[in-house]
Amino acid sequence: MSKLFIVWGTVVCMWLAYANYTGWSLFGEAGSAHKGSQGTGRMYHK
Amino acid sequence: MKLSCPSCGADVEFKSKASVFGVCPFCSSTLVRHDINLETLGKMAELPPDVSPLQVGTRGRYENSSFEIVGRLKVKWAEGSWNEWFALLDDGTQGWLGEFQGFYTMSFQVEDSSGVPPVDSLKPGVKVTVGKSQYQVDDIREIVCQGSEGELPFRAVKGRKSVSVDLGGQGETFASMDCSDDEGVLLYVGRYVDFDKFKFQALREIDGW
Amino acid sequence: MAGDAEAESAGGKKPAVKTFGCTSCGAPVSVKAVGQTVAVGCPSCGAVIDVTDDNYRIISEAQKKILFFPAIPLGRRGTLHGEKWEVIGFMVRTDGTGVYSWREYLLWNPFKGFRWLTEYNGHWNYIITTRKNPRAKKDSAFYLGRTYKLYNRGEAKAIFVLGEFYWRVAVGETVQVEDYINPPEMLSREVSAQEEIWSIGEYIEAGAIYAAFKPDAPLPTMIGVAPNQPNPEASAALMSWRNAWIFFGIIFLIQIATLVISSHSLAYHKGFMLMGDKPVDKFVTPSFAVKGWPSNLEFTLESPVDNSWIDLDIDLVNDGTGEVREFSHGVEYYHGRDSDGPWSEGGQKKDALLSDTPDGTYHINLDSTVATPPAQKTGAPQQPRVRYFELTVRRGVVSWSAFVLALLAIFAYLVFKSMKQGSFEAKRWEESDFSPYKPTD
């Protein structure tokens, strides 16, 4: 097998393993992250 | 059989009963054999030199038999020359080993040549049937005998003119015709054989090879 | 024959080289393939001599200047395909226009006969005349069970002759040629007034020629693609297709493993009532545990919207680190009837996926907004506002998009290799009038 194909295939498989590890989806939410202090707010309604 | 050369008295061996013509290896007289008598026709001119690896005395294998080369006919055509080696198989069968530009053929005379169309009607590409097989004409050449050595089954006199037709058949099969005024149509059938398959022994030594 | 000299080894008639004086310039000319060689090009003056003629007559006149030199010198020996060959002849030929020229080397072995080496644009071929005539039909030729495609049709003219040849070659002699290819082989047909000769050639690497004959100077550099040059991408592409299965297998295994270990477990579930008069509402959920490696969280929103919508601004707060991930979620559903019949759009349930969420304790801050129903004509009943939604949070949900992308990525490489193979073939046919890539005139 050519070196390029080995590298390419390995990268693809490693990416898939990582994507599945983090539960990634193409249609997932980006979900912008930030450190916040949102703790206050209204108590939830029963 | 060993006969005495009428010109120089040396022993001349005829290994084949079919050989009616020979060249004395000692004095180069051309000899015609009538039963156990030899008649001399004159001297055979020295053959033009060549670098053929074969020689009279070379032995080889063909299919399940062994053979020995006992004679040679050198013929010339417009664009060069080639050798026809007269080969004697173990069982007495007479064969012809054609040697042309590194291509080798082994063929045997077919007695009945009546089914073959006349030479004048043949040209490259024409199909000819011999027995049960079909062949196609490859080449037609006018040839002249340049000379001979050893023993041969016909009067291979220098200057003998004939038309030689080469035909190719299925696979490696080969046929050839020799058409002359004196002997009419001589028909041969055989095949192309690789040099290595012959497993030649007693080849001529070629300087540097 | 006048001027003959035969070098004979001592101790018997071993045939060796025959030499004579050139009829044109007197320089010594030697013949090695005695009995087979018919014409010789004099190395000193370029005249071609008929050596079967008693007087060594001149076939074509001396050249004013010797312009061509063989890359492999005459007399050089080399082993190719297991046999020893000696270069005894060299000629240069051009096509009808005189623009393209190529070089031919006659190889000789007294036991095996003759072979040819041809060189064009630095590409070499090893050639033997065929024993049987191939069959030609339209733009194809057939020989020993293989089919060859017509590549070239034209003339070949000899413009320079050096050394020994087995026919009466003359400078200026022209034949009609056709080349048919089936890489790595090329089938050629040469037709002259007297005869038709077919030969079969096989592409041979310049490196093999160099190793066999060890010429004094480097061989000509390779330009472009030779007609019968084997496609180096063909085997590579084929190997890729064969080996791709290994990667496809690994990808499948990874996905199966993912299926096996993904918990798809419930992390949080709650139904929310929207009580107030305003369309917006705020909620804060109690904390819930999220376990395992940093997998994903799937947020399923379900609400009985009817020709209406609900939007949520979701803040997922990590109690431990204080980190917040925010995103929008919502459902909308519309339906009705028109001239084509009933229609519907959207749905009452929708998923959103948040990946790479580490384990820990989280709570969610929700800001909901519902549609305000349009004002009705006086007297007509007001449409109700959406009052309820359900949020389900699941941990470790299996996604298939990465799996599909991985398969496509491997496939993309195969397509790339096939395209390289194809572009080599296009280059191969560039110089041909019979290219399958160009429309025939």
Question: In angstroms, how far is the first alpha carbon of chain A from the final one?
Answer: 63
DSSP character for A17? H
Chain C residues touching B195 at Cβ < 8 A = 111-112
Q: Give the residue from chain C lying closest to B170, CA to CA.
A: C132
Q: 3-class secondary structure for C237-270?
A: HHHHHHHHHHHHHHHHHHHHHHHHHCCCEEEEEE
Residues of A with CB under 8 A from a CB of C: 1-2, 5, 8-9, 12-13, 15-17, 19-39, 41-45
Question: Closest Cα of chain C to A37: distance in Å?
Answer: 7
Q: Which domains does chain C have, with CATH numbers?
A: 5-230 (no CATH), 265-371+384-397 (2.60.120.380)
Strand order in the sheet with C18-21: C5-6, C18-21, C28-31
d(CA C297, CA C360): 12
d(CA B55, CA B57): 6
Stretch C280-308: mean pLDDT, rounded?
93
Q: What is the pLDDT of residue C194?
A: 76
Cα atoms found within 13 Å of the Cα of residue B38, Cβ hemisphere only: 25
d(CA B117, CA B113): 9
Question: Closest Cα of chain B to C93: distance in Å?
Answer: 21
ipTM of the complex: 0.89
Residues in chain C, how many? 441
Asked whether A and B share 3 or more beta-carbon pairs under 8 angstroms, the answer is no
Q: Categorize the per-residue pLDDT at C332 as very low, low, confident or very high, splitting at 50, 70 and 90.
A: very high
Question: Closest Cα of chain A to C344: distance in Å?
Answer: 23
Q: Give the residue from chain C lying closest to A15, CA to CA.
A: C406
**Torsion angle, alpha carbons of C303, C305, C308, C312, to 10:** 0
DSSP character for B160? -
Question: Closest Cα of chain C to A27: distance in Å?
Answer: 8
Q: Is C208 on the interface with A (CB under 8 A)?
A: no
Q: Categorize the per-residue pLDDT at C192 as very low, low, confident or very high, splitting at 50, 70 and 90.
A: confident
Q: Categorize the per-residue pLDDT at C13 as very low, low, confident or very high, splitting at 50, 70 and 90.
A: low
DSSP character for B166? E
Test mutation, B46, B50, B51, B139, chain C, max C CBs within 10 A: B51
* CB within 8 Å of C220: residues ≥ 6 apart: C71, C119, C121, C122
Question: Closest Cα of chain C to B49: distance in Å?
Answer: 6
Has residue B150 been placed in a domain? Answer: no
Cα–Cα distances in Å, from C381 out to B153, C373, C374, C378, C387? 128, 11, 11, 8, 17
Stretch A1-8: mean pLDDT, rounded?
86
Amino acid at A30: A
Whether residues A32 and C327 touch (CB distance < 8 A) is answered with yes
pTM for the model stands at 0.80
d(CA C278, CA C280): 5
d(CA C367, CA C247): 45
**pLDDT per residue as tens digits for the range C117-142:** 999 999 999 999 998 888 899 899 99
* Residues forming a β-bridge with C117: C105, C126
Has residue B66 been placed in a domain? Answer: no
Q: Is C167 on the interface with B (CB under 8 A)?
A: yes
Whether residues C354 and A45 touch (CB distance < 8 A) is answered with no
Q: Is C223 on the interface with A (CB under 8 A)?
A: no
* C91 and C158 Cβ atoms separated by less than 8 Å: yes
Chain A residues touching C232 at Cβ < 8 A = none
Q: Is C196 on the interface with B (CB under 8 A)?
A: yes
Farthest CA pair distance, chain A: 63
* B173 and B191 Cβ atoms separated by less than 8 Å: yes
CB within 8 Å of chain A, chain C residues 279-338: 282-286, 293-297, 315-317, 321-327
Residues in chain A, how many? 46
Test mutation, C34, C36, C76, C166, chain B, max B CBs within 10 A: C36
DSSP SS3 for C416: helix
**pLDDT per residue as tens digits for the range C66-83:** 789 999 999 999 999 999
Question: Closest Cα of chain A to C259: distance in Å?
Answer: 9
Whether residues A37 and C322 touch (CB distance < 8 A) is answered with yes
Q: Give the residue from chain B lying closest to C16, CA to CA.
A: B207
**pLDDT per residue as tens digits for the range B81-119:** 999 999 999 988 999 999 999 999 999 999 887 778 888
DSSP SS3 for C349: strand
Q: Is C287 on the interface with B (CB under 8 A)?
A: no
Q: Is C75 on the interface with B (CB under 8 A)?
A: no
Q: Is the pLDDT of residue C9 over 70?
A: no
Task: Using alpha carbons, select from C54, C48, C47 the residue that is nearest to residue C4.
Answer: C54
Chain B residues touching C132 at Cβ < 8 A = 138, 168
Whether residues B195 and C132 touch (CB distance < 8 A) is answered with no
CB atoms near residue C430 (< 10 Å)? 11
Whether residues B207 and C36 touch (CB distance < 8 A) is answered with no
Has residue B11 been placed in a domain? Answer: yes
* A12 and C248 Cβ atoms separated by less than 8 Å: no
Question: Closest Cα of chain B to C111: distance in Å?
Answer: 6
C434, two tokens? 């019979």
Residue with tokens 């398959």: B197
CB atoms near residue C244 (< 10 Å)? 19
Q: Is C352 on the interface with A (CB under 8 A)?
A: yes
Answer whether the bond into residue C184 is a cis peptide, omega within 30°: yes
Q: Is C364 on the interface with A (CB under 8 A)?
A: no
Residue B36: which domain range? 2-43
Q: Is the pLDDT of residue C114 over 50?
A: yes
* Residues forming a β-bridge with A35: C323
* CB within 8 Å of C427: residues ≥ 6 apart: C224, C225
Chain C residues touching A44 at Cβ < 8 A = 272, 283-286
Judged by average pLDDT, the poorest of B62-76, B115-129, C7-21 is: C7-21
User: To the nearest whole number, what is the mean pLDDT of chain A?
Assistant: 79
Whether residues C399 and A9 touch (CB distance < 8 A) is answered with no
Q: What is the pLDDT of residue C324?
A: 94
Amino acid at A37: S
Q: What is the pLDDT of residue B28?
A: 83
Stretch B114-138: mean pLDDT, rounded?
86
Q: Is the pLDDT of residue B40 over 60?
A: yes
Chain C residues touching B124 at Cβ < 8 A = 195-196
The chains in contact with chain C, meaning 3 or more Cβ pairs closer than 8 Å, are A, B
Q: Is the pLDDT of residue B153 over 60?
A: yes
Cα–Cα distances in Å, from B164 out to B47, B121, B122, C433? 20, 14, 11, 40
* B42 and B52 Cβ atoms separated by less than 8 Å: no
Whether residues A38 and C317 touch (CB distance < 8 A) is answered with yes
Chain B residues touching C9 at Cβ < 8 A = 207
Q: Categorize the per-residue pLDDT at C11 as very low, low, confident or very high, splitting at 50, 70 and 90.
A: very low
Task: Using alpha carbons, select from B182, B178, B147, B184 the residue that is nearest to residue B163.
Answer: B178
Q: What does DSSP say about strands C135-137 and B184-193: parallel, antiparallel, or unpaired?
A: unpaired
Report the residue from C34, C112, C196 with minimal CB separation from B49. Answer: C34
**Torsion angle, alpha carbons of C50, C55, C59, C65, to 10:** 100
Q: How many domains does chain B have?
A: 1
Has residue B16 been placed in a domain? Answer: yes
* B47 and B147 Cβ atoms separated by less than 8 Å: yes
The chains in contact with chain B, meaning 3 or more Cβ pairs closer than 8 Å, are C
Whether residues A16 and C315 touch (CB distance < 8 A) is answered with no
Helix (H) or strand (E) holding C424: helix C401-428
Stretch C101-106: mean pLDDT, rounded?
96
Q: What is the pLDDT of residue A42?
A: 39
Question: Closest Cα of chain A to C305: distance in Å?
Answer: 20
**pLDDT per residue as tens digits for the range C368-383:** 999 887 777 777 666 7
Stretch C50-62: mean pLDDT, rounded?
90
Stretch C338-365: mean pLDDT, rounded?
94
Has residue B102 been placed in a domain? Answer: no
Decide which of C384 and C339 is more confident.
Answer: C339
